[in-house]
Amino acid sequence: MKGKVIIFSAPSGAGKTTIVQHLLKVYPQLEFSVSACSREKRNGETNGVDYYFISVEEFKQKIANGEFAEYEEVYKDNFYGTLKSEIERIWKKGKHIIFDMDVMGGLNLRLQFGDNALAIFVMPPSVDHLELRLKSRETETPESIARRIGKAGQEIKKASLFDNIILNDHLETALAEAEKLVGDFLK
């Protein structure tokens, strides 16, 4: 079975994960696609739930084997990607897939799935606001925050390439807008 694909992308800290988690509670026909990554696991993260945590070497081997639907080296030796086996696993259950991913990965998947995909960009109120959110997480070093903020400007320039843009200035409004867009797409 081939289901539909819903992609949420945004710079780090824009709120895409919060929106995706909300939509998973609203729409039982959706299942979250767990991405693979080569970064270190953060406190509170679980392998196979938050990400499939694999080594850089294993990630490169899976690339060579053609096991990814999409992947990107987001930072030096810091890979993220979607395993083809994850997509097939969810579709075999008769569910539609919802993704929470970086901007380039989202655009790559959007191209692959065409009309079967809905790609939504979550726009932060401002880059300054993003920086405050990243600092409040207390999971990032000052260097990683600076790197993510630097990347955010480039990612925001790509927002117009998505099907829809949700401004996450007020969470309740953003959640309602996301519910409507996804509900219409699933009909």
59-69 pLDDT, tens digit each: 999 999 999 99
Domain span at 137: 5-186
Specify the number of domains making up the chain. Answer: 1
Each residue of 124-179: pLDDT tens digit? 987 777 777 777 777 777 787 777 787 888 899 999 999 999 999 999 999 999 99
Q: What is the pTM of this model?
A: 0.87
Q: What is the mean pLDDT of the chain?
A: 91
Each residue of 79-93: pLDDT tens digit? 999 999 999 999 999
Q: What percent of the chain has pLDDT over 90?
A: 70
Q: Cβ neighbours of residue 47 under 8 Å, at least 6 residues apart?
A: 41, 53
For residue 50, is pLDDT > 80? yes
Q: What is the pLDDT of residue 147?
A: 78
CATH number at residue 59: 3.40.50.300
Each residue of 40-49: pLDDT tens digit? 888 889 999 9
By CB atoms closer than 10 A (0-12, 13-18, 19+), residue 73 is: middle
Query: Looking at residues 110-128, what average pLDDT do you find?
Result: 91
Per-residue tokens: 136:
């409040």
Q: What is the pLDDT of residue 152?
A: 85
Q: Which amino acid is at 169?
A: D
